[in-house]
Structure 1
Amino acid sequence: MKISELSRRSGVSVATIKYYLREEVLPAGEPTSSNQASYDEGHIRRLRLIRALIDIGGLSLARVRDALAATENDELPLHDAFGAVMLGLDDPGTIAAADDTFGEVRDWLAERRWTIAPDAPATRRLAELIDILREFGLPVTADSFTAAADSAEATAIDEVHYAHDQPDRIASVEMMLIGTVVYERAMAMVRRLALEAASARIENSARIEDSGRR
């Protein structure tokens, strides 16, 4: 298909597609003349992935480029590619966490027998978030997340199996990438809804108790 059809079917403007091509986050099409190229369904899939990572995941184009690089490195075993995806989703240089809290999180991970890469940004990011919660007076420890970790682990097992069942390696890594970014946002929305529902339920119960005392 021509770039105009690619734009129509993907919902991404021609100018933005050309920008992604220049920035090498979108693979080049098959040349058909000196200034034209043909594109296929893979380009539509990649464009939708890029837009989801930027619009929903809030990633910068540079972080998108880093994450997508893992989908194209055929020399990486699939597990290492998944790890590279996770590494590309965050910038370790921006994380500020106390060493004691970081050690606490690593001990907690070891107790769970989770095999996590030493340079995984998520470990230090969790420690940083625990530090912030404590600054606001919340009595939070790594153990506070055990129930959430149990639920996340069960879901993650299904996600990884689903990714492995994809028809090709690129599709597998892309599925992990989009699942990580979008599913995390979905879970955050579920928690936000749960907080509102819990607040309403508790307030209604308090009103019923007050009216019963009168």
Structure 2
Amino acid sequence: MLLSIGDVKGAPMRISELSRRSGVSVATIKYYLREGVLPPGEPTSSNQASYGHGHIRRLRLIRALIEIGGLSLATVRDALAATEDEHLPLHDAFGAVMHGLDDPDAIVAHDDTLGEVHDWLAERDWTIAPDAPAPRRLAELIGILRDFGLPVTADSFSTAADTAEVVANDEVRYAREQPDRIAAVEMMLVGTVVYERALATVRRLALEAASARIEATVVERSEP
């Protein structure tokens, strides 16, 4: 398992120092080492090793994916493996990361709704891999919204998609400007999982603010 070239700076540290600086317990670090999501340190004796700044970065990434993104350790392992497969073109590595965040077998989408989503994607001229789970997930979510009586179509998301496209272009360009392949795909992982949660949180804030604004208007109109 590789670490980003730019992440090996600084003096080597023992696992206790790695724990202190990363905020991850020694027991958890050892668990990540056993599970293969954290690269081993440089052996210094038969039962000790030294670690670098790259290990701190990797621990922060793992914590973000598990604690903020809600991913399983197995999903994290698969996503990290995609960062290190140098035979994959960078675009395919990005795709492997994003496709691995959903379980296609757990998605239930009606064919007519899925067809609507594919037509919408074609109208937007978005090139999406045939095996990408995201179109099926969107179709499933549209179906659930309709079950609750919301008059939603794929076109309902066009304004959000316009904004997302601008942000995504910036994210991908920034990721590809990273000093090495590992850093580039790690950046896409963090952007996909954490930025997605940030956008959802902003939407919740907007909903609360809109509700408060409309409530104030209703109260004002009802006053004599």
Equivalent positions of 1:54-93 (< 5 A) are 54-93=66-105
The aligned counterpart of 2:221 is 209
Give the letter for the 2:194 counterpart: V
| Cα offset, 1:186, TM superposition | 0.3
- After the TM superposition, which residues 24-35 of structure 1 pair with which residues of structure 2 at under 5 Å, given as runs? 24-35=36-47
Q: Give the 3-state SS of the residue equivalent to 1:205 in structure 2.
A: helix
Aligned residues: 212
Q: CA deviation at 1:5?
A: 0.8
5+ long unaligned stretches in structure 1: none
Is this contact kept in 2: 1:63–1:90, CA < 8 A?
A: no
Partner residue of 1:172?
184
- Paired residue for 2:112, among 61, 81, 100? 100
Residue 7 (structure 1) aligns with? 19
Whole-angstrom distance in 1 between the partners of 2:42 and 2:99: 31
Give unpaired runs (5+ residues) of structure 2: 1-12
Pick which of 26-35 and 168-177 moved more: 26-35
**Aligned equivalent of 2:196, options 168, 171, 184:** 184
Instruction: State the shift of 1:38 in Å.
Output: 1.3
The C-alpha deviation readout for 1:132-186, integer Å capped at 9, x for no partner, is 1011011111000000000000000111111011111100000000011000000
Looking at structure 1, the residues matched to 100 and 15 of structure 2 have their Cα atoms a distance apart, in angstroms, of 28
User: CA RMSD for the aligned pairs?
Assistant: 0.8
Give TM-score scaled by structure 1 length: 0.97
User: Which structure has more RCO (C-alpha within 8 Å, separation ≥ 6)?
Assistant: 2
1:95–1:124 contact (8 Å) kept in structure 2: yes
Partner in structure 1 of residue 50 of structure 2: 38
Residue 18 of structure 1 corresponds to 30
Distance in 1 between the 2:31 and 2:114 partners?
39
Kindly, what percent of the aligned residue pairs are identical? 80
The one of 199, 208, 211 equivalent to 1:196 is 208
Counterpart amino acid of residue 25 in structure 1: V
SS in 2 for 1:166: coil
2:84 and 2:107 mapped to 1: Cα distance?
27
Q: Distance in 2 between matches of 1:139 and 1:85?
A: 32
1:27 & 1:97 partners in 2: Cα distance?
38
Name the aligned partner's letter for residue 40 of structure 1. G
- Tell whether the 8 Å contact from 1:26 to 1:43 is kept in structure 2 after alignment: yes
Residue identity opposite 2:117 in structure 1: V
Q: Using the alignment, how far apart are the partners of 2:61 and 2:51 within structure 1? A: 16
Q: Distance in 2 between matches of 1:75 and 1:30?
A: 26
